[in-house]
Amino acid sequence: MSFRPITSTSAAQPTVEGAGVKLHRAFGFNEPEKFDPFLLFDDFRNDHPEDYRQGFPWHPHRGIETITYVLSGTVEHGDSLGNTGALADGDLQWMTAGSGILHQEMPKGNAAGHMHGFQLWSNLPGSMKMIKPRYQDIEGKNLPLLEEDDGTKIKIIIGDYLGKASPVDGIAANPQYLDITVPPKVTKALKIDTYRRAFAYVFEGACQFDAASTPVGVLVEKSIDGDELLLADLSGNRTLIQFGTGDEIVVRAGPIGVRFLLVSGTPIQEPIAWHGPIVMNTAAEIRQAMDDLHNRRFIKAHP
C-alpha cells in the first residue's frame, strides 16, 4: 500500500464562458498532458441569474466527451441531431461528441435563483475521435450511493467503487468520478488504482489530505491550549488538488466536515491539438474539422 503524494494545489479561477456565464475554472487549455486524460474542469456555481441565464448557445464539439453533473438548478440542452432534455438536481449527462455535434446548454436556477454544477471534459484517443456521437443521461436517483458506518457518503457518478457501479458505460478513459462527503473530524482512506491519474476538488467545508504541507481549504490558527484549529471556508473554497502515483489517499475532515469530488482516469498519452471545443491529435485534423464546420460537413444535420 502506498499513499499518493500531493503534487500541486491551486484555486479555481473566475472566468466567463458562453454568452456571459460567470464560473470558476479549475484547469483547462494549459498543459493538457498534466491532467491526461482530462482536459478541462469548470465549477458553475452562481446565486445571481443575470450571471448565468444567457447560457452556452449553439457551439460545436469534436474529439472529446463532456461530463455534466448538476447539484442544484437545471440545465436544459438541445443539439443539432434533434435531441433535447433537461438535467435537474443530482443528474448526470455524459456526451460523447465523437465525430461532431452542435449543441447548446442553458442553465436555469432553482426557486431561489441558485445554480450549481460541474463540467469535465475527457479526451478521446485517436482511434475513437470520429465515432458516432451519443448521450448517456442518468437521473440522480439511479447513481449508487455508499453510506458507511462513520457517516461518510460516496456517490458514484462514473465508474465503480467498493462493488457498486454507475450505470454509465463504455468510456474510453475508464474514469472514476466520486462525490464524497466526510463528516466532521472523520479520517477516511480512499482507494485509487495505481495506473490512474487523479485529482480532488474541494467545494464545501474543509479538510486536510495526508502529505499536504498545510490543510487544504482551511485557515489555521492556535487555540488556547496550543492545538491547531481548522476553520472552514463556509462558502466552499474551490480548491484543486492533484496527486502523484500510489493506491490510496487519506482525507481528514475539518470541524464542519467536507465535500469534494475525487476523479481519476487512465492517461491516453497521445499528441493533443486543441482549438476551443475541438480536440484532435494533429493540426491537420483541426484544419479538417474547421473546414467541415464551415462547409456544413461537420454533422449530418445543422440547427
Query: What are the pLDDT digits (tens) for 212-258?
Result: 444 455 444 433 444 443 343 434 579 999 999 988 999 999 888 99
Lowest mean pLDDT across 62-66, 186-190, 286-290, 292-296: 292-296
At residue 270, the 3 state secondary structure works out as coil
* pLDDT tens-digit map of 37-65: 999 999 999 999 999 999 999 999 999 99
* pLDDT tens-digit map of 78-129: 888 888 889 999 999 999 999 999 989 999 989 899 999 999 999 999 999 9
Give, in order, the Cα–Cα distances in Å from 245 to each of 7, 162, 197, 224. Answer: 10, 20, 7, 39
- CATH superfamily of the 144-270 domain: Jelly Rolls (2.60.120.10)
Q: Minimal CA–CA distance to 118: which of 41, 29, 180, 38?
A: 41
At residue 240, the 3 state secondary structure works out as strand
Q: Which CATH architecture has domain 11-142?
A: Sandwich (2.60)
Q: In the chain, what percentage of residues exceed pLDDT 90?
A: 69
pLDDT at 17: 93
300 CB neighbour count, 10 Å cutoff: 12
11-142 and 144-270 in the same fold:
yes
pLDDT at 172: 81
* pLDDT tens-digit map of 164-187: 999 998 778 889 999 999 999 999
E strand or H helix at 285: helix 283-294
Q: Minimal CA–CA distance to 88: which of 12, 28, 129, 142?
A: 142
What are the residue ranges spanned by the domains of the chain? 11-142, 144-270
Handedness of CA 16, 19, 21, 22 (dihedral sign): positive
